[in-house]
């Protein structure tokens, strides 16, 4: 699959990455972990929810995220907080 097409699905842009994602590592993950990571990458779930979905603890899932070189997404600030 064209890597550009892969990046277009996610909340980050290829140009924003310091290092490219480690697709070989991502593809080698067990399906449950890979699906959770990809849900996080799309912005469908928080990192905590993705960790739950993966069956790993939060710290272990975050290690997987970092090893895959997936950037961490900052939580969105609500409009009420900005006032």
Is 0.85 surpassed by the pTM of this model?
no
pLDDT at 79: 61
**Cα distance between residue 62 and residue 72, in whole Å:** 9
Q: What is the pLDDT of residues 29-76, one digit of tens each?
A: 999 999 999 999 988 999 999 999 999 999 999 999 999 999 888 766
> Interhelix angle for 58-67 vs 31-42, to 10°?
80
What value does the mean pLDDT take over residues 7-12? 70
Residue with tokens 């699959």: 1
31 vs 19, residue with greater confidence? 31
What DSSP state is assigned to residue 14? G
Beta carbons within 8 Å of 65's beta carbon, 6+ residues apart: 37, 40, 47, 72
């Amino acid at each position: 699959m064209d890597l550009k097409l892969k990046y277009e699905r996610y909340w980050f842009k290829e140009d924003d990455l310091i290092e490219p994602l480690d697709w070989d590592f991502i593809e080698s993950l067990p399906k449950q972990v890979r699906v959770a990571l990809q849900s996080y990458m799309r912005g469908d779930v928080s990192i905590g929810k993705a960790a739950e979905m993966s069956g790993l603890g939060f710290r272990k899932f975050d290690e997987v995220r970092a090893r895959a070189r997936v950037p961490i997404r900052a939580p969105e600030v609500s409009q009420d907080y900005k006032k």
